[in-house]
Amino acid sequence: MRHQSAVIYWVRRDLRLSDNPALTAAVQSGKPVIPVVINDQLQQELGAAPKWRLGLGLEHFSAVLEKVGATLIFRSGEPHQVLEALINETGADHLVWNRMYETKAMIRDSALKKTLKQRGIKVDSFGGAVLFEPMSVETKTGGYYRVFTPYWNAVKNRDVTAPLPKLTTFNAPSEWPRSDKLSDWQMAKSMGRGVDVTRAYVQLGETEARSRLADFLQNDVAFYSQRRDIPSVHGTSGIAENLALGEISPRQCWHAALRAHFDGNAGAEAFLRQLVWRDFAYHLLYHTPHIAHSNWKPDWDKFPWSCDEDDPKVQAWKQGRTGVRFVDAAMREMYVTGRMHNRGRMIVASYLTKHLMCHWRIGQKWFEECLIDWDCASNAMGWQWAAGSGPDAAPYFRIFNPDTQLGKFDPDGVYQERWIAEIANDPTITATSYFDAIPKGWKLKPDLVYPDPVVTLSQGRQRALNAYENRCF
């Protein structure tokens, strides 16, 4: 390939043409732009559902780029080596990317930036994954926020940069570098036969994400505060999967919701708070990276949670066969759709860490395996919030009663019948589809008798309270 001055745009979690700071900078440079995605170790370590969903997103984004005259290059390997090779092949003298805030990614990016700059390569990184860069929000004493409400109060009236316009044209190099085939990466391999079932619930790409947001703000946001806890209705935006892959930016969501708020839509502020809650998770991940894998409050290392992932009770929890309907319905919803209603997430997390006395890491890792909207920061903070071991957490002794919660938020049984085949004479298609998605090795069928609870709610609650009372911290 003939050497020429070019800019490489490293594609990560930013699969969009609008409000993409790194890509915009690359295009505005006036140089040919070479987009590349790298199948590195961090990507290979993703759980089954997030990896598969990323593969779908990359395939779609590749097609979008083709329409504006660009080719997405696929390369495998260690990023430093891949990018060095690409620079040598293309004569590129400029590299851009949008920042990530996971610890391993930041260490990787920092080392890469230092090395390439020493070689005379211009390297620029941009903020595009959050509303407010984690390092840009400080308490009055110069520290980081540990509690959400003060964080919200600190940022809610800040100006959020207006979204950048959609890019429509690219300068192409005279010759495109070689590329792997995305299909060779086998990003759907770990999904098994669940692919066909879950694919029906995916809303793919930037156009779909923006349409989804617009529909929510036009038709549903006014009722958001009342409906967001009801798992059987369409009461939330559903854009988490798109935010997770950057198919829509948080700034786009913020400004659209802010307009709805100024127009008098009652639920818009609650939605804005959810966007900031997501930011807060990244704020904590940046300042206290151990939140991703260890108890944020170290005292909780002494708590007697079971870490046995092979425990039959854990297997029953994963399979949605605990005998507790709210728990089982939510777990099956996740396995079929790749998503789980927020109220369900709280219930299943509380049940695992309290009624079953199992470590939150077991649940965290299972969610990482099953969620198409998986987000490292939000998943870690959510699990520690439910377990009582994290910042701004619900007290451990706040133990949700799944049956009481079901009576309150699903009084007519719509949600449970939608997902649990064994309790209905004529099961719904959604309920039976669960058995089409799960591994055959589980040997589960819709005509099985629905199980008795693996532990009664009263016994589980009392055991949890006893453990808390007798804790050694």
What is the reported pLDDT for 266?
Answer: 86
Averaged confidence pLDDT in the chain: 96
In this structure, what DSSP letter does residue 230 have? -
pLDDT in tens, 170-216: 999 999 999 999 999 999 999 999 999 999 999 999 999 999 999 99
Half-sphere exposure of 408 (CA within 13 A, CB side): 12
Q: Please give the average per-residue pLDDT across 293-312, as a whole number.
A: 97
Rounded Cα distance, 148 and 150, in Å: 6
263's CB contacts (< 8 A; 6+ apart) are: none
Please name which of 165, 169, 164, 171 lies closest in space to residue 68, comparing C-alpha atoms: 169
Q: Please give the average per-residue pLDDT across 250-270, as a whole number.
A: 95
19's CB contacts (< 8 A; 6+ apart) are: 128, 163, 164, 249, 251, 252
User: At residue 1, does pLDDT exceed 60?
Assistant: no
Q: Which of 52-56, 261-265, 271-275, 327-331 has the lowest mean pLDDT?
A: 261-265
- For residue 171, give the 3-state DSSP assignment: coil
Please name which of 60, 23, 13, 12 lies closest in space to residue 373, comparing C-alpha atoms: 13
User: At residue 2, does pLDDT exceed 70?
Assistant: no
What's the one-letter identity of residue 400? F
The C-alpha angle 376, 240, 319, rounded to 5 degrees, equals 70
What is the reported pLDDT for 25?
Answer: 98
Q: Please give the average per-residue pLDDT across 338-358, as a whole number.
A: 97
pTM: 0.96
The owner of tokens 């920092």 is 110
What is the reported pLDDT for 377?
Answer: 97
29's CB contacts (< 8 A; 6+ apart) are: 7, 94
What is the reported pLDDT for 469?
Answer: 96
What's the one-letter identity of residue 321? R
User: At residue 3, does pLDDT exceed 60?
Assistant: no
User: At residue 135, does pLDDT exceed 60?
Assistant: yes
Q: Which domains does the chain have, with CATH numbers?
A: 1-128 (3.40.50.620), 130-162+192-287 (1.25.40.80), 298-469 (1.10.579.10)
What percentage of the chain reaches a pLDDT higher than 70?
99
- Is residue 207 within 8 A of residue 98, CB to CB? The reply is no
- For residue 307, give the 3-state DSSP assignment: coil
